[in-house]
Amino acid sequence: MAAAGRDASRCRVDAAAPMPHPAVMVHPRLAVCPALRRLPPRGAGAVGQAVRVMAAIVLLTAAAPSRAAEPARGTPLLAPVTPACISSPFGPRVLPNRPLAGTFHPGIDLPAPVGAPVRAVAAGRVIRAQRHGPGGLEMLVQHDGFVGVYSHLGHVAPPIAEGRLAVTAGQPIATVGRSGVTYGAHLYFGMLVGGKPVDPAPWLDLTHCGVPEADAGDHAAGAVPPPAGSTAAFGPDAPKAAAPLSKSVAGR
């Protein structure tokens, strides 16, 4: 049993891999532990069977992600765009004839027109707003218990570009864009708990799918292209090597 506990550190989270022992039925997103393969064989008698099951429970319990740091589900988080209709869910991609098919999608895609307001899902503080690889213009916000990832943005709202990093729930923080790698205008939204992605869908208020934003437009969120030469000039046509908004935004 002690060895099983030590082996828990070797477990990994894998949403697609099958469980090595069908007798142990768990949610497919729980840890898959190579150590399970070294447990007593199924024909080893009642004692061996009990040891095998108990060791499996120890391994899977130790490897399962903690929910202590996740936000409380009493009140859903606000939808970052309206309508909030998921076009690509969290998990393995199954889109046919697409380069990204077969990869793992660590967040959700919410289609919205270019220029539509992107709002903070909860109160928090911006910890980074800059171009970041395929995500294009991306903003990370430290909320209570998780980090919100907002990607493929068009522009950052002026208060944030000016260094006012504290945000309130529902506050416009940016506009939807097509920056980075994208097949169409949409917002990518992800949640990181302890540095690991979790499915945002169960936490969001998605009851308004199909109800369009009344004032969606290029300036609906108050996010306008910053003055020429500004370090916040991160619009869709900005250079790919654009610098961070400010030292405080990129580093804190």
The rounded distance, in Å, linking the Cα atoms of 149 and 168 is 16
Read off the pLDDT band of 88 (50, 70, 90). confident
Contact 135, 148 (CB under 8 A): no
Residues 223 and 141 in one domain: yes
Total count of domains within the chain: 2
Tell me the range of 184-193, 199-208, 229-238 where mean pLDDT is highest: 184-193
The reply to whether 116 and 186 lie within a common domain is yes
Q: Are residues 154 and 226 in the same domain?
A: yes
Confidence of residue 72 (pLDDT cuts 50, 70, 90): low
59 & 126 share domain: no
Average pLDDT over residues 49-56: 47
The reply to whether 106 and 223 lie within a common domain is yes
Looking at the fold, whether 13 and 116 belong to one and the same domain comes out as no
In a domain, 139, yes or no: yes
In this predicted structure, the answer to whether residue 173 has a pLDDT above a threshold of 80 is yes
pLDDT for 18-40, tens place per residue? 333 333 233 333 233 343 334 44
Any domain includes 19 = yes
Shared domain for 59 and 96, answered yes or no, is no
One DSSP character per residue, 69-127 reads TSPPSSSPBPPSSSS---SB-SEE---TT-TTTTSEE-SEEEE--TT-EEE-SSSEEEE
Domain, as residue range, for 137: 91-251
End-to-end Cα, the chain, rounded Å: 43
Domain membership of residue 82 (yes or no) is no
CA distances from 148 to 5, 69, 138, 176 (A): 33, 14, 10, 15
Same domain, 54 and 12: yes
Q: What phi and psi, each to the nearest 5 degrees, are found at residue 202?
A: -65, -20
Last residue of a domain, one of 26, 47, 63: 63
Over 70: is that where the pLDDT of 180 sits? yes
DSSP letters, 116-181, are -EEE-SSSEEEEEEEE-GGG-EEEEEEETTEEEEEESEEEE-HHHHTT--EE-TT-EEEEE---SS
Judge if 57 and 135 occupy the same domain. Answer: no
Which one has a higher pLDDT value, 2 or 164?
164
User: 78 in a domain, yes or no?
Assistant: no
**88 vs 250: CA distance, rounded Å:** 28
Q: Are residues 99 and 167 in the same domain?
A: yes
Average pLDDT over residues 3-11: 44
Query: Does one domain contain both 105 and 142?
Result: yes
* Measured CA distances, 9 to 13, 17, 224 (Å): 11, 18, 48
Amino acid letter, 77: L
Is residue 243 in a domain? yes
Q: Does residue 79 lie within any of the structural domains?
A: no
